[in-house]
Every structure is written in structure tokens, then in C-alpha cells.
Structure 1
Amino acid sequence: MDRFAIRQDVIKVMVVGDSISHGREGDWTWRYRIWEWFEQQEISVRFVGPYAGTSPPNKPQPPRPPRLIDQPPEPPPPLRTDGAYAEGVARRFLANSNHFAAGGRQTHQAKDIISEQVAAHQPDLCLVQLGFNDLGWRVSGPVETLASMKHLVDHARSAKTDLKFAIADVPYRTDLPGRGDLPVSTKIYNDMLAQSIPYWSTAKSPIALVQFCKNYSCGGSNSEAAYDGLHPNALGEYQIARAFSQTLVSDFNFGRSALVIPDKIPPRPLSTPANLRAAPAPSGIIITWDSVYGAFGYDLQHRLAGEGDWESTHVDCNRYDQQWLHKGQTVECRVRTSGGDTLKSAWTHIASAVANPQTAPAPINMVTHATSTGFSISWTNPPPPYAGDIDRYGITNFDSDQPGAFLCKVGVRGNQAEITGLTPGHRYYISMETWTTFGGGIPAAARAVLVGRGSPAVPTSLRARALDALAVELAWPEVLDAAGYDVWVRREGPIHGRLGVRLSPTLWPLPESMVHVSDGTIPGCKTMKAILPNMEPSVWDWEYAVEAYNGDDRSGLSEWLTPPPLAPEKMSLATTDLIHIELKHG
């Protein structure tokens, strides 16, 4: 395209972007680095837009009950843009830091609000960094995202016909499990954007491509420029600013040379949190500490006293509510500040507290049935006594067949509900908890469902094989409409167990925590297997059967059988101690 220079005393610049451009509290931001470059090149600029700061940390608050299913979704919280910058930024920048970038923003959203901002602030030049959220959150594919970018340009031009654009392509992020599509769609979009920009550009309103992706050291297993696999650290901020400066020099004739990244990148200050406290509360235990300026959240570890291994979680603010505890349990915890995936502070000391929860137990007698687009569920109130009045129940479902799926929770009142809008053919795990004035109680699992399917057929062709004297392997062909299976055992004889109950015969399902079954939905290709350990006095003293279920719609039991005897040399094998899961294709 023709080289173009904007000739006026002060150039008004609007940065249009998402969280990569918005930044978080304590960031320098690439917006600051490009401001420094303008200063060094002696180019007078005025940054314009409705916001001036970074994104501040979340405010600590207690857990909230889930939204009732018959209530409309809550409006999104107001955009917070009052976060501060790194402590070393020039004071002149703080008076010239306006922008139009917000965390989570998509090109699909920005295209509909850009004309209002251009009309209000009348920028001469837009530095556009958008597109990752469209592709990364599967809002749209490459073609639709490109169309959104073209609409953004058109709508911005409708408010100012001579507006100039420097539009960045989309960076790669580090690999995510289950998202092999993301680098592919990113490359397709970037290629199409580079091919389209020359056709979008006009003499009056020129557009140039910014090679963000090429200049940014991130993608695959490389995260040199990003603190979390995507968002820029101090080096990444320089790299993004350099990419924009290259385009401004080469395509708009701004400045004498592109930004030079210094050899020494300023480190991010990171102190250990102070005043860690753990205190009992009606909902469990509340863990708090003093916030650390510039933290990208905190790594928290907790465990029950006497246990060796820590459980780890990441929190965005300086509070964590440890729920789902029993009275008298002692919880130990410690915390450290996170500056990203690889930058951490030292751990705090260990704090502890004894739980005395006042929450109610989960409802009982939960019954689920799959429907064409979800499931129905009914239940009975938990038996008293418990403190407080029941306000609502929380129903959680999880799509186990969707990679990267999130837990979905809604609140209900009464004793039955129907959940819709789920994906037919997918398996959903379901749980419920009771919410009182003291918070949410420990959840309990209901039967999983396979949405859009009916009652499963009885499992057939069950086979049993003794692995040794105390462990047996069961195998059977997949039942297509089954969300899961129960393994049943029975034994004839005078005495069983410590209670001395006479069984003649008696049968019961083994707990799901003891028996794990590989499952699937590929017709004719999968064999279910379950291994049962510790079948005393021996595996041959028991009979085994399998039942398929879809919610509380059950198939009925398969045939009963006992494994054939082992060869003599197998009898000395050690007892299996661990539950085994195996999936065979054939």
C-alpha cells in the first residue's frame, strides 16, 4: 500500500483490544511501551477512549447460591478499568493512557459498539488487537471472525471516514488439551486477514497489517513472552509494541525506526502474602490473607491434618472458602503469590482451623430420567435435624463427552426439576447440594444420564476370569443406551461379614467407588471391563452379574456366573490392590 503520514500537531490514537491490551494491575502494558516509543520518536500523540486503567483484581466475597432456574441470568458485572499500572510508569503516561480495550472482548462484540466510541473520541488512528476470544472461546470460526473484523472497520468508518487502522493478527497460545483446532483456526484466520486487508484499505482510510503472531514468542510449548500461555509478561509487552511500531514505520511513515527491545527486561516484583488466617465459619472454613500488589492470583494448598499430600487450587483474590467439611475436621493451608505459570513467591507459614459447619446434608432419594434434551430429577428433603431453613437446592451437571466442559449449576426450589438445553447423545454426571442460610452443604451424586436415550438393554455375553484367588475380571459388550453400569455380587452361605447376616442368597451392588467401568458410545467397538479386588474368601465363593442404567431407568440383571478355576501356577499371584480400568477396541 502507499506510504501515508498523518500531518497534524497531535495525533489521536485509540487502542481497540481485549485483555491482552487492557492489562492487569501491576502491568506495564504494551500500550505504555508504544507510548514510550512515540515519545522517543518525538511524535505527539493523544491516546483516547472511554477507559484509562488496567483490570483490577477481583474483590473477595463469600460463595453465592446458584441462580434459580426460573430467574433470568444476572447482567454481567460492570466493567472495571480502574486498575493501576506498574509502579515505574512515567507520570505523564497516567494522564495519557486512555484506551478502548477490555478483558474478554470479542471482535463480534466490538463491531457493534465501535462507531459510538469513534464518534465520541474522533481518533485519527486505531491500533486494533482483537480476535483471540472469538476463536479461543469458539464464538466463531475464522471466516465469521474475519467478517466481524470487516464490520468493525465499516462501522468505525461510518463515524469517521478518514480513520486509519493498524490491525494485528491473532497470536498463538500454548497448547491446550482438547484444543488442537485452535492453532489451525488461528493460522487460517491470520492468512485470510493478511490477504483481505489490501482490499479493505483505501487511499482515504488506509489499513495495514500488524504481525503480532510473528513477533510474539508464544505458541506450542513456548511461552517465553506470556505469563500464562497467552497474556504478555514484561517481555511480551515489548514484543507487541514492537510489532505495532514496525507497521507504523513501514506503512504510515511514523518515526525513524521501530521499537528496540532492551536487553534487560524489568522483573515483576512478587512478595509472599502476609497475615494468612484460617477461621471456622458456618459454611466451613474461611482462609484470608493480605493482597499483594500486581499478583496474578494466588496458589493455595490445603489438606486435612495428618494427611501428607496437599490439594492445590488457584484463586484470583485474597480469600478462599473451604466448604464440604465435617464437624471436627482440622484443615491446614498455605498460600503463595503467583506471577504466572513460572513466577511464584515463597510459601507462607501453615495456618489451620477446626471446622464446625452448620450446613445441611444433600437431599435424598434422588431419581433421574433422561429426556430428549436433558434430564428430569426428583428428590426428598434431607432428614432433620439441620440448622437454618432450606432456601434452595443446587443441581450441577457436567458433560463428560465434551472436552474442556465446565460444571453447570442452577438453583431450584421444591422437589423436582427438569434441565433442558443439553446435548443429545452426551453423558452427564449429576449432583445436588442443599443451600440454607448458612451456605451450601456437601453434595451427593445422582444417577448419570445419557441424554436423548431411553432404558438400556440387559447386558449380554458376560464373561468372568479369575486373575488370582481374590481378584476377578468381568467383561461384557457395550450397551449403547447405558450411562453407566452396576456390578452385583451374591453369595450363598450361612454367614457373611461382621454383622453375621444370613444370606440365602443375598445380592447387592458394589459401590461405584470400588468398581470403575470403561464406557463409550462407538457402536460395536468397545468392550466394558471391571476388575474387583479382595473378593474374600475367594472369587469362586461369589456369583457376579451386571446391570446397565440410564439415570434410574435400569436394564435388569445379566446372567449370573462364577469364573472357572485357575491353572495351579496362577494361584500364588499377589492379590490385586488397585481398581483397574481397561478399554479394548475390537
Structure 2
Amino acid sequence: MRAALGLAGMLLVAGSMPVPAADAVLSEPPEPVRILLIGDSVTQGSAGDWTWRYRLGRHFAAAGVAVDFVGPRQDLWNNVTDQPGSTDYADPAFDQDHAARWGMQALVPDVPAGRLVEEHRPDVVVEMLGVNDLLYGASAETVAGRTADLVEEVHAVDPEVDVVLAEATQTWFPGVVGFNGLLHDVAAAADTPTGRVVVARTAAGYDRDADTWDTSHPNAQGEVKIAAAVADTLSGIGVGPPAARPLPDVPVGPRTGAEVAAVAGDGYVTLAWAGPSGATAQYVWTRDASSSEPWRRLPFRVTGQSWTGFYLTNGHRYQYRLQPVKGDDEPEGAVYSNVVEAVPFRPPAAPAGLRATAGRRCAVLTWREPAFATRYRVARQTAAGWSALGWVRRPRFAAERLPAAHAWRFRVTAWHLDVRGEAARITVRRAPSGGPCR
């Protein structure tokens, strides 16, 4: 491979021929190694993931090795809406270029490998395909043969491109173990001194329960293992160092919480939320703050974007938070949404004891406050219907500049926030003396 020589190879070559000065060679930084990643969902990743591409990029950055991921895509798959185009990486600060797609098969690639090499001019192709072909009934031998064809397509365009064939990680699926074994035969037959073909042992030590979030796709721990196996193999052909051991212990599950809002009603509270990206369910945590209860997690997961808790005590303050889940992975550590508080209430009854003191062109209304009332709307009856006079928060309202009449009819409606309760009505006769209101 051309770019795999790097700076060390350049110095060795320079030592065998006359050059003006060593500083002239040292001042030329090595060209980045162009790496084309071809794969399916395991390589593309889904919303909220770091991806093993990210882990591999961080490995090279930490080692000071210049690489350039190339390819026609940068997106993740949105596993919640089941469509492409997500850009919600757990950390987007890396080279996101790739040529992978959720569900892609070796037998039916999005873009032929030869065309990808023509368009993106990689120094190395890392390919991880085949498991979807096996799941749709293709034999291990057929998929291995197609993989050999892919290598031929790459070398037909550029015989100096190195190819890394990554094993399928899902060894618990039918046919995968046999296919992975055949990959070594494909690599041995296609390997050349100028265009290496090697196998990355990405399936070694890979665990269905510990390393995936849905028995198929890698969680953070699975990403680290895949990236390490690929890094080890790339190191063997001169690209960067092998992965450091032991591998880092990274937390799994979503790392951010949802944004939650709460609305209360008569004996219930409804939660509605958005996010976090990639979360497939939520655990609801709740406490009755009025009774100083500790937090408790409800025993079931909630899907969708809303949930209602019933049979609550009106007037009590309830607090809620959500804990996100992706597949079968609960988040490690304290990963929650914001905390919201709501007070269930009964729609307020009509204001009791409605009374009035009248003047010549005014009236002062007073009443007793019903439970759960937070404000009141006062209206006066006219020939055209009820005409609003205003809102108050206290049980008193002064109606000024009333039209000349023997009597006026008023209505006072109790509200709880934006929920209307019942109304009380009263007819008020003008004071005989025609004096002012007090």
C-alpha cells in the first residue's frame, strides 16, 4: 500500500539516496491514509450511537496517525423512525464519511466496490458485509464467493489497495460461523505483496448480551471491541499501532435523557417528551413530594412519547423523571430526563356565596374560593350575550362604568390554570340612593 509507508518509510527510502538535507524530508508531513469503510448497519450505526467508526478514529487520533475516512455518506440510521439520514451521533466530532447502510447485503450493494474505489481513491478498504445475506437465506459459500468478487472489483481498479475483511460479529445467527471461516480462505487466495487482503477477527470474544443493544447491533462496548480488532489488523499492514490493552471500560445505554413536560387533570398526570435520539423506551420514575416519598421506578417500560398516571390524589405534588433505554440496554449511571412536577386537581366548583354591593353605575362582587381555583373570569349579560369584563386571581371584582339600568346580571367562572370550572350567577339591583361602590 502506498500510504502505509508513512513518515518512517519515507525516511528509510530517503536514507538510500542523496537528498539536500534531512530537514527537507522531516518538514513534509505524511499524507493521511485514506480508509473506505463498506458495511451494513453494524458499520453505519443508529441514532444516539458513537459507532465503531468513531472509536477507530479516536484510536488513530490518540496515536497521532493521520487518516481520512472516505465515502459517500455521513449519516446514521434512525432506529426509532426506521429511516436513514440521522446525524445524532453521541459525539459528532470525528470524520463521519463512510459507505455503509442499514440492511445492505454483499449480494446487493448500494454502490459497486469498484466504483467506490474510483470515486474515493482509498488506500485501504475495510469491508464488513454478509450477515444480512445469510439472514435472507444465502449460503455461506455464496456470500464468501461474493466477497471474493468484491476484492477483485477493488483490485481491478487499483491493485495496490489493501483490503480488510471484517468477520460478521453475530456468530449466534445461522451460517455466520461458517462464513467467517471462509473469509480466511478468500483472503489467502486474494492476498498479494502490493495489495494485501487480510481478515479482522471482529467476532473473537464478541458477546451477544454484553456487546449489543438488540442481539444484533453493537452497543458502546461492542463498538470498542470491533474498532480494536480492526485497528489490530490495520496495524499488521502498516497503518497505525494495535489497540491498547486492556480495552477501555465504557458505559452502555443512552447517555442523555429526554425533555419532558407534564400536564395535570382530575386524578391524573400526563407526561409528554422528546428524545433522546435512539432511545426505544423509557422507565418512569415518580415520587409524591407532598408525602416526602422517595423516588421509585415503575416496573414497566413505556414506548412512544407520552404516558399518563391515574388514580392520583388531587392536590398532591407529584414529581417525575424518565430513564431512557435503547433495546435491552439500560443506561449505566445517573442518566435521566429533567424533573417535572404536577398537581392533579378537580375542575373547580362554582364560586360559593356570591354577593354584590351596588352603586349608581358600579358593583363590587365578592365570593368564597372553591378548591383548586387559581383565577376567575367575570362577565356581564347584555342583549347580545355574555360580555367579558376581566380576570382576577382573588375573590373580588369591581365592575365600573356600568350602563344605566335598574339591575345588572353577572357571571363568575372559576378556572384552574387553563381548565374551566363551574360558574355562579347573580342579579344586582342598582342602589336606590345611586351612591358610589365601596
Q: TM-score range by the shorter chain?
A: 0.5 to 0.7
1:205-254 per-position Cα deviation (integer Å, ceiling 9, x unaligned):
210100011042x14xxx1111111211111111101000111122x022
Distance 1:156 1:335, change over 3 A: same
Percent pairwise identity: 22
Could you tell me how far apart the structure 1 residues matched to 2:45 and 2:62 are?
23
The change in CA–CA distance for 1:264 and 1:129 in structure 2 (over 3 A counts) is same
Check the 8 A contact 1:24/1:83 in 2, yes or no: no
Q: Retained in 2: the 8 A contact 1:52–1:82?
A: no
**Alignment pair present for 1:127 and 2:149:** no
Aligned partner (choices 142, 162, 184) of residue 160 of structure 2? 162
Paired residue for 2:87, among 74, 83, 88? 83
- In structure 2, how many angstroms separate the alpha carbons of the residues matched to 1:204 and 1:314? 55
> Is 2:258–2:273's contact at 8 Å kept on the other side of the alignment?
no
Q: Given that residues 128 and 166 in structure 1 are in contact (C-alpha distance below 8 angstroms), is that contact kept between their aligned partners in structure 2?
A: yes
Matched, 1:228 2:214: yes
Larger of the two Rg values belongs to structure: 2
Partners in 2 of 1:119 and 1:15 — Cα distance?
Answer: 14
What CA distance in whole angstroms lies between the structure 1 residues aligned with 2:180 and 2:86?
32
SS in 2 for 1:214: coil
- Distance in 2 between the 1:155 and 1:108 partners? 13
Match of 2:223 in 1: 237
**Residues 276 and 22 of structure 1, relative CA distance in 2, 3 Å threshold:** farther
Letter in 1 for 2:107: H
Larger helix percent = 2
Per-residue deviation, 1:100 = 0.6
Q: Give the whole-Å Cα distance in 1 for the aligned partners of 2:144 and 2:341.
A: 51
Q: How far apart are the structure 2 equivalents of 1:311 and 1:238? A: 31
Distance in 1 separating the partners of 2:72 and 2:169: 25
Q: Distance in 2 between matches of 1:188 and 1:5?
A: 31
The residue type paired with residue 55 of structure 2 is: R
Instruction: Give yes or no for contact 2:3–2:123 (8 Å, CA) kept in 1.
Output: no
Distance, in Å, in 1 between the alignment partners of 2:279 and 2:235 is: 34
1:31 is the counterpart of 2:50: no
Give the distance between the partners of 2:124 and 2:38, measured in 1 at CA: 10
CA distance in 2, matches of 1:48, 1:260: 28
1:500-540 CA distance string (max 9 Å, x none): xxxxxxxxxxxxxxxxxxxxxxxxxxxxxxxxxxxxxxxxx
Establish whether residue 194 from structure 1 lines up as the match of residue 168 from structure 2.
no
The answer to whether structure 1 residue 297 and structure 2 residue 302 are counterparts is no
Question: Residues 143 and 258 from structure 1, CA distance in 2 versus in 1: closer, same or farther, beyond 3 angstroms?
Answer: same
8 Å CA contact 2:42, 2:218 repeated in 1: yes
Q: Specify the alignment match of 2:142 in structure 1.
A: 144
Measured after TM superposition, the shift of residue 346 of structure 1 is 7.7
- Residue 171 in structure 1 maps to residue 199 in structure 2: no
Distance 1:55 1:349, change over 3 A: farther
Amino acid at match of 2:181: D
SS of the aligned residue for 2:143 comes to helix
Checking the alignment, whether the CA contact within 8 Å between 2:213 and 2:219 is kept in structure 1 is: yes
1:114 Cα deviation from its structure 2 partner = 2.1
Describe the superposition over 1:112-167 as per-residue Cα deviations: whole angstroms up to 9, x where unpaired: 622222211111111111111111x2241101111121122222233333221111
1:9 pairs with 2:7: no
Aligned equivalent of 2:374: none
SS at match of 2:165: strand
The verdict on how the C-alpha distance between 1:105 and 1:319 changes in structure 2, with shifts beyond 3 A counting, is: farther
The answer to whether the 8 Å contact 2:4/2:33 transfers is no
Inter-partner Cα distance in structure 2 for 1:80 and 1:128: 20
Whether contact under 8 Å (1:19, 1:101) holds in the other structure is yes
Q: Is the 8 A contact 1:51 1:81 kept in 2?
A: no
CA deviation after TM superposition for structure 1 residue 288, in Å:
8.6
The structure 2 residue matched to 1:44, chosen from 66, 70, 75, is 66
What is the CA deviation profile of residues 73-114 of structure 1, one whole-angstrom value per residue up to 9, with x for unaligned ones?
Answer: xxxx9x623422114x5x3x2xx2201111111111228622
Return the offset for 1:58.
4.2
Q: Pairwise mapping of residues 487-526 of structure 1 onto structure 2 (< 5 A)?
A: none
Could you tell me which of 239, 242, 252 is aligned with 1:257?
242
TM-aligned CA distance change 1:133 to 1:318, over 3 Å: farther
* Backbone CA RMSD of aligned residues: 3.7
- Map 1:332-411 onto structure 2 (within 5 A): 337-343=324-330
Residues 165, 183 of structure 2: 8 Å contact kept: no
- Match of residue 555 from structure 1: none
Change (3 A) 1:298 1:125: same
| TM-score between both structures, scaled by the size of structure 2 | 0.56
Residue of structure 2 aligned with 1:153, choices 147, 151, 154? 151
Q: 1:10 to 1:224 in 2, by over 3 A?
A: same
